[in-house]
Amino acid sequence: MIGLLAAAAAMGHVYLLPWGALFELPVPSERFCAIQLLRYSPPDGKSERARELDQQVSCEIRQFVQPGLLLSTWTAPDQLSEVQVTYTLQGNQEQRTVTLQAEPLDPKDLAGGASLAATVQKVKNDVRSLVTSRSTHPVLVGDAIVGLGKPKEDCRGPGPTAVLQKGESLLDVRPGLLSPSMKVWVAVFTGQKRCSWVQAATQHR
């Protein structure tokens, strides 16, 4: 059963929220940090929608959902059921296609007081945080910042990045320093712009 759930997650997700549709799509490696072009439609091919990235995205900060290696992007709100998605990645024009079942989410079902566990490690100039949800409800997350105390910056940052189901993880890679006393703080959203910093139980590698 666990293997089947992991395989389904690796295929990707499309979550429907009141303010937008969040696509989490498989990528072949961590060097890809942005979806360049996204086209999606019902399997019959009717009413195709498209979204194209206007400019290059810096890969200084990279965020993925695991299991699998899923990269997120938002589109306008939509009514979808089964959806066929064709997309390309920044720096690679190869077209990839997946078929996904849309998953509607009501913000009131999101876990605001999320139960999160994290492992962190230093790799060259980067800090790698792997934040895993232990909550029974979906968790909508944004930045994962490593520090001694609660971050002073606004938790809204660039906005929510990914939905984590129980057992799923957010991999956050960004430049930074790391010491054994540092903790991982995660921006947890209960609305498009409503969030709070939640401290994850942190282990160092």
How many CB atoms lie under 10 A from the CB of residue 196? 15
Query: Tens of pLDDT along 118-147?
Result: 999 999 999 999 999 999 999 999 999 999
Residue 185 contacts residue 200 (beta carbons within 8 Å): yes
Locate tokens 């709070």: which residue?
196
- pLDDT exceeds cutoff 80 at 6: no
Residue 131 contacts residue 169 (beta carbons within 8 Å): yes
Q: What is the dihedral of CA 52, 58, 167, 203, to 10 degrees?
A: -170
Chain-wide mean pLDDT for the chain?
A: 92
Beta bridge partners of 140: 163, 189
**Which domains, from first to last, does the chain contain?**
2-104 (2.60.40), 107-204 (2.60.40)
For the segment 79-97, the average pLDDT, to the nearest whole number, is 94
Angstrom distance (rounded) from CA 190 to CA 68: 25
Locate tokens 């984590």: which residue?
164
Whether the model clears a pTM of 0.75, i.e. scores above it, the answer is yes
Higher-confidence position of 77 and 8: 77
Beta bridge partners of 63: 172
Residue 79: per-residue pLDDT: 87
Dihedral sign (CA 155, 156, 158, 162)? positive
Query: Tens of pLDDT along 33-46?
Result: 999 999 998 777 77
Beta bridge partners of 26: 70
Evaluate the omega torsion of the peptide bond into residue 67 and state whether it is cis, within 30 degrees of 0.
yes
Residue 15 contacts residue 21 (beta carbons within 8 Å): yes
Beta strand pairing status for 116-123 and 195-204? Answer: parallel
Residue 1: per-residue pLDDT: 38
Query: Which two tokens mark 205?
Result: 């590698």
Query: Tens of pLDDT along 185-203?
Result: 999 999 999 999 999 999 9
